[in-house]
Amino acid sequence: MVVFACTACGTVLTAKVARVALPDHSSQKYGHDLLPHLLEPGTYAVDPGNGQPWQPWEPEPEEPGARLQMYRITGPPNRIGIAPGDVRGTAFIPERLGCCCCWDGQYGPNLACATCGSPVATRVDDCGFWQVVWLEPDAVHPVAVTGPSSK
């Protein structure tokens, strides 16, 4: 298990988490409904990403849901996804919170380290998106820990 800490000051920013595979649907947007969390509490996944934040996804005509408007949401390579409840020691960056119903990160990272103020993550909690916190790969680093997970 690991926790992720701020690269700038060392503050621990997550609960203990274990790595899992990135869900296949992680980069898709569905309609205008609120979606559940992308990852289970106590887990994290690394998204290899491709650096293009909004990519239209063209489903095959025979594919179920082909009439839905869908997007593939990606970000910087190697961002780390965690369940929103596993975040610790952060504060919102107010000027980066605008979006449709909640937060989607369209203005860049919207969570800062509460200790040093460095932007460290993006909370996604908007209509049509899976709820997740994406830790910025250059702003955090893993720290190995032992013992049971703390939820």
Phi and psi (nearest 5°) for 6?
-65, 130
Structure confidence at residue 68 (pLDDT): 43
| Cα–Cα dist 100/117, whole Å | 26
Q: Which amino acid is at 126?
A: D
Domain count, the chain: 1
Structure confidence at residue 26 (pLDDT): 73
CATH number of the domain encompassing residue 119: 2.170.150
Q: How far is CA 97 from the centre of its chain?
A: 14
Could you list the pLDDT tens digit for every one of the 151 residues in the chain?
Answer: 999 999 999 999 999 999 999 988 776 666 667 777 889 999 999 998 755 444 444 555 555 554 444 444 456 789 999 999 999 999 998 876 666 555 565 667 889 999 999 999 998 886 677 889 999 999 999 999 987 655 5
Q: Does 150 reside within a domain?
A: no
Structure confidence at residue 100 (pLDDT): 56
Contact 83, 41 (CB under 8 A): yes
Residue 95 DSSP symbol: G
Quote the domain boundaries for residue 68: 2-144
Q: Does 149 reside within a domain?
A: no
Structure confidence at residue 17 (pLDDT): 97
| Cα–Cα dist 31/68, whole Å | 7
Q: Does 151 reside within a domain?
A: no
Adjacent-strand bridge partners of 5: 12, 141
Kindly state the tokens that stand for 125.
Answer: 């909690």
Question: Which of 136, 120, 129, 134 lies closest to 27, judged by CA?
Answer: 129
Q: Does 82 reside within a domain?
A: yes
DSSP 109-125: --EEETTT--EEEEEEB
Structure confidence at residue 54 (pLDDT): 45
Q: Whole-prediction pTM value? A: 0.77
